[in-house]
């Protein structure tokens, strides 16, 4: 994860910006996946999914599908 992304995540946590947290954790997951780091990617996807669920974000379904495809969650109905 880049320093800029880490800083942005910390700022989003500090301000309670769930929409930004969904986007930033998804970005971190995508970066980790591109680097072949499946466990790290799933860690970040899980965080994105939780913040999406908490805020009722439409991304929750797609995040759940990605985690289910990787064998890290059950596919839920939204």
Closest alpha carbon to 17 in 68, 55, 50, 43: 55
- Answering whether pTM is above 0.85, one says yes
With respect to residue 77, please indicate whether it lies within any of the assigned structural domains: no
pLDDT over 90 (residue 78): no
In a domain, 40, yes or no: yes
Q: Is residue 51 part of a domain?
A: yes
Residue 27 lies in a domain: yes
In-domain check, residue 78:
no
Give the domain range for residue 33: 3-69
Q: Residue 76 domain-assigned?
A: no
**74 part of a folded domain:** no
How many distinct structural domains can be found in the chain?
A: 1
Q: Packing angle between helix 18-34 and helix 59-69, nearest 10 degrees?
A: 30
pLDDT tens digits, 14-31: 999 999 999 999 999 999
Instruction: Identify the helix (H) or strand (E) that includes residue 77.
Output: none
């Amino acid at each position: 994860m880049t320093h800029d992304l880490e800083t942005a995540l910390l700022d989003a946590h500090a301000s309670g910006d769930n929409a930004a947290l969904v986007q930033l954790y998804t970005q971190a997951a995508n970066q980790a996946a591109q680097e072949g780091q499946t466990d790290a990617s799933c860690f970040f996807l899980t965080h994105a999914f939780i913040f999406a669920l908490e805020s009722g974000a439409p991304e929750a379904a797609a995040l759940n599908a990605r985690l289910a495809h990787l064998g890290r969650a059950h596919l839920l109905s939204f």
